[in-house]
Amino acid sequence: MDLILRNATLPDGGQQADIAIEAGRIVAIGPALNLKGVQEIDIAGDLVTPPFVDAHFHMDATLSYGLPRVNASGTLLEGIALWGELKPELTQQALVGRALQYCDWAVARGLLAIRSHVDVCDDRLLAVEALLHVKKLVAPYLDLQLVAFPQDGLLRSPTAFANLQRAIAMGVDVVGGIPHFERTMAEGAESVRLLCEFAAENGLRVDMHCDESDDPMSRHIETLAYHAQRLGLQGRVAGSHLTSMHSMDNYYVSKLLPLIREAGVAAIANPLINITLQGRHDTYPKRRGMTRVPELLAAGIDVAFGHDCVMDPWYSLGSGDMLEVAHMGLHVAQMTGQEAMRSCFRAVTETPARILGLEGYGLQVGCHADLVVLDAGDPIEAIRLRAARRFVIRRGVVISQAPPAHAQLNLPGRPGKVDFRLAK
Ligand code: FE2
């Protein structure tokens, strides 16, 4: 064996197991494997998980905080305007440099697959070229999936649809959209139809920014589900944000959820961003704005959590930590039950892996040996502690290491070390 991890705790709990890896794949999992590894690591009961997956990100904007100025109001719309100011000043070199730096952070956080939207409304397609280049550069250690995103509106921006088609021809993977930003509800619905038909004709997945609004009448998810079903796109379409659902009438939602389920459309909530950007027009009480995660899950709909933004025109914080995203999602959705907290962990691991269609993802024999060892005893503790990533492994090779989060205490009669862990 190339590598054996000894005494791992698996996300589903139960007995500790060894994980044997050869030629970049998991070849055996079981208690006290009678095998010899070239490298063996005793992880002493730490949690081992497949890597974190971010289903929704903007790598063309990341780490640009303060360029050319800070978002003063903090709103989504000022963020879009600010991004519009920055776009003409972007250079390939700066885009690639920032994206690579973010990917370094991601790897150190055990985040090894990212679906990033890339704005196609700049006729130069500078960001598309830059991120396609980055995708190639990081491919050995990180799966970067790109979405052609018409930030200024598919119909509202005169060259957006042509640019989107050019981006796809250049190698961008997924069809994006932003129906709530079109001029009218009708144009929003028309953009959804055009984009879904384009995706169906070209065998592509769809992931739209959909109803990122507090307006309960923003119902483009209904249209997205309709066309996904009509065109046979089940399992290949995601609606990102869906924040208007937070404010919708309960009766309407009771009809909507089964339609989304029937259409095989997944939902991607972005808790850090939704709790920050939504409800900005409210006085008090202020709406949380995040979509109805527990209800979507109860209806049998896949729900992933995305990071969306890190240090960009919309969000001034973040560091690529999907456990921070899960932590916020858990709080905003009040998902405090044991099973609910575990589903928040799945929302940043196996569910987004399914939405992205990642091949060989998982913790079974035959899967890629892409693994993260966390300084925690189970997934709930991992969220509680935003646990240190002790080892990040890609195709059987350790590509990042970090020390456990210990503190040395100097108190008479008390233990000398605190590690904050309880789960065993
Ligand atoms: Fe987004």
Using one digit for the tens of pLDDT, what is the confidence trace for 217-231? 999 999 999 999 999
The domain made up of 52-356 has a fold known as TIM Barrel (3.20.20)
Tokens of 114: 């990212």
How would residue 15 be classed by pLDDT, with cut points 50, 70 and 90? confident
Q: What are 262's two structure tokens? A: 């029937």
Q: Determine contact, residues 56/50, Cβ cutoff 8 Å.
A: no
Percent of the chain with pLDDT strictly greater than 90: 96
Query: Per CATH, which fold does 3-50+362-408 belong to?
Result: Urease, subunit C; domain 1 (2.30.40)
Q: How many helices (H) and strands (E) does the chain have?
A: 14, 18
DSSP secondary structure code for residue 310 in this structure? S
| From 182, 212, 222, 350, the catalytic residue | 212
Q: Please compute the mean of the pLDDT values over residues 405-418 and round it to a whole number.
A: 96
Query: What are the backbone angles phi and psi of residue 264, rounded to the nearest 5°?
Result: 60, 35
Which tokens sit at 43? Answer: 């992880």
**How far, in Å, from the CA of 84 to the mean position of ligand 1?**
15
Residues found in the chain: 424
Cβ–Cβ under 8 Å, residues 357 and 375 = no
Total Cβ atoms within 10 A of residue 98:
22
CA-based angle 131:303:369, to the nearest 5? Answer: 60
Q: What is the pTM of this model?
A: 0.97
Tell me, yes or no, if 212 is annotated catalytic.
yes
Domain boundaries, the chain: 3-50+362-408, 52-356
Cα distance between residue 289 and residue 306, in whole Å: 15
Alpha carbon separation from 216 to 152, 244, 249, 252, 279 (Å, rounded): 22, 5, 7, 10, 12
The CA 380 to ligand 1 mean position distance, Å, reads: 27
Question: pLDDT tens digits, residue range 347-392?
Answer: 999 999 999 999 999 999 999 999 999 999 999 999 999 999 999 9
Residues 271 and 322: their CA atoms lie apart, in Å, by 11
User: Ligand 1 mean position to 387 CA, how many Å?
Assistant: 26
Considering only the C-alpha atoms of the chain, give the largest distance between any 2 of them, rounded to a whole number of Å: 72
Q: How far is CA 260 from the centre of its chain?
A: 20
211 alpha carbon – ligand 1 mean position (Å): 11
